[in-house]
Amino acid sequence: MRSLILLLSLILFSGIFFGFNLKNEDPNKDKLLLEIISYVLERGHYSPKEINDIFSENVYMDYLANLDGQHRFFLKSDINSFEQYKYSIDDQIKNTELTFFDLTYEKIIERMGQVEEFYDALLEQPFNFSKKQEIDLNFETAPYAANLVELKQLWRTRFKLNALQNFASKKEDELKQYKKDSTFNLSSDIELEIKARKNIKENMISFFERFNDLKRKNWFSFYINSMVVQFDPHTFYLPPSDKDRFDASMSGKFEGIGARLTKKNQQIKIVEVISGGPVWRNELLEIGDSILKVGQESEEPVDISGMVLDDAVKLIKGPKGTNVYLTVKRVDGTIEVVTVTRDIVILEETYAKSSLIKDQSGNYGLIELPKFYINFQDYNQRNAATDVKKELEQLKKNNVKGIILDLRNNGGGSLKTVVDMTGYFIEEGPVVQVKSTGGRKEVLRDTDPSIIWDGPLVILVNEFSASASEILAAALQDYSRAIILGSKQTFGKGTVQNIIDLNKMISGGTYGDLGALKVTTDKFYRINGLTTQLEGVKSDIVFPDRYAMVDMGEKDQDNPLSWDRITPALYSPLPKFSNYDYSVERSKRRIKENPFVELIEDQAAWIKKQQEDSRFYLDYESFKSNRESNKKYADKFKKILEFESNLIFQWLPEANSVKVPNKDLIKKRERWEESLKKDLYIAEAVEILKDLSNQISVGKPIAQLKEK
């Protein structure tokens, strides 16, 4: 893209600039890194921010949250000493001063050392699980301890919650074993409590081993990222170790559980389930689930709450074939242990696949596209666009009356494949507008006049359909070419990032590896001139799901770029199907009357309530009662799983594959068929296609159709 070329030109210039000026001016690597990143952001970011007192305050708040978000190390007096720098970090950035960082770094090391000295004594005394007590883990409102006595009490109380959770889980496991085998020897409550404290002590030993391994450069990375994320949530500094992992991920080979994690509100959360990975294949985790503990074979699980994300990831990753035991808090608040067998992500599972849908009214087609994949070295190799084209042609040979394109949970990918794919449904014309750093605008067009499919089309989306998925859905919506069915809106990520190798900014390599900066350089706009940023694509027909009330979109991230609009591209919407309005009206009515929808809406409200509740009981009876009550309430939503359509699904061999399906693939596709029968959203999409393709309704007034 043009913006990337210009940015690379900028880098070439910058390498000369820093090579002659900074190398001899300041040998301190931290200061050099600060200046280089500031330089790149100022000139390369899509929407540079003014480095002022407001910026300083935001960096201050985010940085303290990164250092001690759970308020378990710093004292109130420490915060008071930091306050003097709250509005001067901007000046320190401009002058490459590190006074504030040095102060906080020295203080966090001091306080961590003190906690390491006293935590063992706190765990010597047994916990009383019969005493009525509560704890509030809303860290945003939790005060800092006034002194070390209060800090010890804070740690003791949180240790008690951890011990109670461990105690309750072990007691529950033993009772289950006793029900299966009456000869099983149950542990006493005293023994279980002792084991719980021992487990916490082992976790704390591991905790401080990892923290003591952190070097000054690691802490400085936290400081740098507290600055760069002020520009937008997708701009991020990658220190050398993270850059190496990023490079490995771009090679297309992933080994682990197949999930991307983030740290939000001091919890390690699932933000993406990677298609083709073990979690995805076995449907073990969902976006929004939180990982509380990580256990290895024959080892007690490690509590990862408050742990640095990188350290948590190291515990979860591991060699192919080994098991990791994750204590997971589901989005609905229930807690369970999930066993994941680590594996290499099977890239074939990310490819487009199709199924024939048979109904009394005729045949319909489904294409599931997990991502917009591409071979960047050779576009003629397998990619999402060519695969979807062949699946469309395969479905046409089966005389389908309508097609469903499933983009749910599709986080995006190659922009070129989107442009080509849009062209399969329109003659030719603009597909998306891209505005780059400096305000340059480019319109990407489909120039192929041929159409692969001109019949009824429904696109399925949800809150996790993002980026490239949003571009395709938006273009076909603007052309009136498809009906969008799904969540109220898609994710709302309308930006593009590029990776800048900071080592190219300086000649000689005197300072070692500087890492890289992922920086936002472009913004997407629909052909109607509206950006997909924040607002995403609004569905023509809203079919709610369990995430309807959960804050997970771009608009819910910190510091997202704003929504705006530019001049529309020159395009002409296609004539809608004669019974378009009829089909939409009928679908909305069906959804409103669907008994499962009310249950889904109740589930969404329940999940929101659970996520907002930060209070926990610290006595066993109340803790157990609350846990059982939550589980009982959550169990009522299992009725949603009882849905099963009367549709017949017949998966089709991949149109682009010359291999004969093996037993493993056949088993996976059969399981896929079973999941399709239980998919409420696909069932509704078929009903829409039936209405769209119903020639009896063509040309009749909407009023007459409603009366029917």
CATH among 3.40.50.2000, 2.30.42.10, 3.40.30.10, 3.30.2350.10 for 254-344: 2.30.42.10
Confidence at 162, pLDDT banded by 50, 70, 90: very high
Confidence at 511, pLDDT banded by 50, 70, 90: low
Calculate the CA dihedral of residues 538, 539, 542, 545 and round it to 10 degrees.
-80
Could you tell me where the DSSP H helices lie in 275-383?
Answer: 278-281, 309-316
Q: Which uninterrupted H or E stretch holds 362?
A: strand 362-368
Rounded Cα distance, 530 and 568, in Å:
8
Q: Tell me what pLDDT residue 625 has.
A: 94
Q: Read off the amino acid at residue 567.
A: T
Give me the residue spans of the domains in the chain.
49-230, 254-344, 348-496+522-707
Q: Which uninterrupted H or E stretch holds 339?
A: strand 335-341
User: What's the rounded mean pLDDT across residues 349-369?
Assistant: 93
Q: Which two tokens stand for residue 384?
A: 């999402």
User: What's the rounded mean pLDDT across residues 662-679?
Assistant: 86
Rounded Cα distance, 497 and 504, in Å:
18
The predicted model scores a pTM of 0.83
Q: Is 439 exposed, middle or buried (0-12, 13-18, 19+ CB in 10 A)?
A: exposed
Residues in a beta bridge with 368: 353, 406
Q: Tell me what pLDDT residue 700 has.
A: 36
Rounded Cα distance, 164 and 156, in Å:
12
Residue 182, φ and ψ in degrees, nearest 5: -70, -10
Decide if 254-344 and 348-496+522-707 have a common fold: no
Rounded Cα distance, 409 and 287, in Å:
9
Q: Name the CATH superfamily housing domain 348-496+522-707.
A: 2-enoyl-CoA Hydratase; Chain A, domain 1 (3.90.226.10)
For 246-292, the pLDDT digits (tens) are 443 433 344 578 787 777 655 788 877 776 678 877 788 888 888 88
User: What's the rounded mean pLDDT across residues 299-325?
Assistant: 80
User: In this model, does residue 16 exceed pLDDT 50?
Assistant: no
Sign of CA dihedral 556, 560, 566, 571: negative
User: Quick check: helix, strand or coil at residue 476?
Assistant: helix
Largest CA distance in the chain: 83
Angle, alpha carbons 165-168-170 (nearest 5°): 105
Q: Which two tokens stand for residue 205?
A: 């030993």
Rounded Cα distance, 218 and 391, in Å:
48
Task: Report the chain's mean pLDDT, rounded to a whole number.
Answer: 87
CB count in 10 Å sphere of residue 33? 24
User: What's the rounded mean pLDDT across residues 580-608?
Assistant: 95
Q: Which uninterrupted H or E stretch holds 18?
A: helix 2-25
Residue 423, φ and ψ in degrees, nearest 5: -65, -20
117 or 2: whose pLDDT is higher?
A: 117
Q: Read off the amino acid at residue 704.
A: Q
Q: Tell me what pLDDT residue 212 has.
A: 86
